[in-house]
Amino acid sequence: MGAEDFWKDQEAAQRMLQRRKRLEGDLVILAQLRTQEDDARVLVEWLEGGEDVEKDLAAALATFESLIEGAEFQKMLGGEHDRADAILTINAGEGGTESQDWAEMLLRMYLRWIDRKGWKRELTEVQAGEEAGIKSATVLVHGEYAYGFLSAEVGVHRLVRISPFDSAARRQTSFAAVFVWPEIDEDIKIDVQEKDLRVDTYRSSGAGGQHVNVTDSAVRITHLPSGIVVSCQNERSQIRNREVAMKVLKSRLYDLEMQKKQAKLDAIENSKMKIGFGSQIRSYVLHPYRMIKDHRTKYEVGDVDRVMDGDLDAFINSTLAAKARGTLGQAAAGEE
């Protein structure tokens, strides 16, 4: 930072400042742990010496435990891209209107969770369903550890309820899939040739409701060699829509290159299973009882409305903790 040309590249300088801030935060946590440990040891010595410090020691140990849990959780999010912003996509499974309505319910849940975290978000693309709901949606999530947290949500989500679209009020099962990619820093070079791109412009349409700004400048980019298709219709400017779509494309191409180098699918791609029975990571049951259960951790809650309003932290934290311990399981076929 003391270099004369440090501020010549403003974006690189800002990334360096952010890195310093993160390192300073790590050092603060380490100092707090050491201080709390020393304080607890002193109180133990005083207690052994006959001093009346039981309450003080209990409070010190509780604070120490809380600090340790926080440090362990931060260590869980120590992956290469865990601190990065995230690209979240939601896709409806088979089942038409039922699954499309469920996909929109999931979108609402995640948007509310993001707002609870105090993060910024950009809803860049929504493909509306024919009658209700959405076929797919893409959200850019800007926040510290956004990718690390949201990576716990990758997989198939299953809804069981009395259908509001069935005149006979029958019980229906619907599926939707959640995928997440890290948003890659601009200094990671992904070579995208113009000759490899097909760029289509169109007018956003459909019953997208409040999620879609009607515009004549929506952009869809197809990367011909890989077959990856991305689109953006949120911005009024065609130039801005293209910029956002290119950012998403570069992140997905980077993810693809990492797979090739590692000669195996990474955890993100492994979770892209068939959107249907036997592959769900979590079930949201609204009938005949009310319960949300994660099949990988067996964590469950009965307050369905609270979770659907964006209170996802307990599910995400339990998943990350199980992953760190190596005990994260898979759903059994047909499991409720």
β 280-285/155-162 pair status: parallel
Q: Are 209 and 131 in contact (CB under 8 A)?
A: no
Query: Could you give the CA distance from residue 81 to residue 150 in angstroms, rounded to a whole number?
Result: 12
Residue 204 in this model has a pLDDT that exceeds 50: yes
Separation of first and last alpha carbons in the chain: 55
* Mean pLDDT over the full length of the chain: 85
Query: Could you give the CA distance from residue 150 to residue 284 in angstroms, rounded to a whole number?
Result: 18
209-231 confidence digits (pLDDT tens): 445 445 467 899 999 998 999 99
Does residue 257 sit in helix, strand or coil?
A: helix
Please state the rounded mean pLDDT for residues 245-253: 88
Confidence category of residue 265, pLDDT binned at 50, 70, 90: very low
Confidence category of residue 332, pLDDT binned at 50, 70, 90: very low
Within the chain, where are the H helices? Answer: 10-48, 54-76, 97-117, 146-150, 238-262, 267-270, 304-308, 313-325
94-148 confidence digits (pLDDT tens): 878 999 999 999 999 999 999 999 999 999 999 999 889 999 999 999 998 899 9
Residue 264 in this model has a pLDDT that exceeds 50: no
pTM of the model: 0.68
Q: Report the side by side order of strands in the sheet with 197-202.
A: 197-202, 218-223, 228-232
Question: How many other C-beta atoms can be found within 10 angstroms of the C-beta atom of residue 326?
Answer: 6
130 burial level (CB within 10 Å; 0-12, 13-18, 19+): exposed
Flag the least confident range among 20-24, 33-37, 317-321. 20-24
Angle at 14 between CA 11 and CA 18, to 5 degrees: 140
- Number of residues in the chain: 336
Q: Are 86 and 77 in contact (CB under 8 A)?
A: no
Six-digit token string for 130: 């024919």
Question: How many other C-beta atoms can be found within 10 angstroms of the C-beta atom of residue 247?
Answer: 19
Query: Could you give the CA distance from residue 135 to residue 99 in angstroms, rounded to a whole number?
Result: 8
Query: Could you give the CA distance from residue 77 to residue 126 in angstroms, rounded to a whole number?
Result: 29
Angle at 175 between CA 250 and CA 253, to 5 degrees: 10
Give pLDDT, residue 271: 46
Residue 276 in this model has a pLDDT that exceeds 70: no
Query: Could you give the CA distance from residue 334 to residue 145 in angstroms, rounded to a whole number?
Result: 33
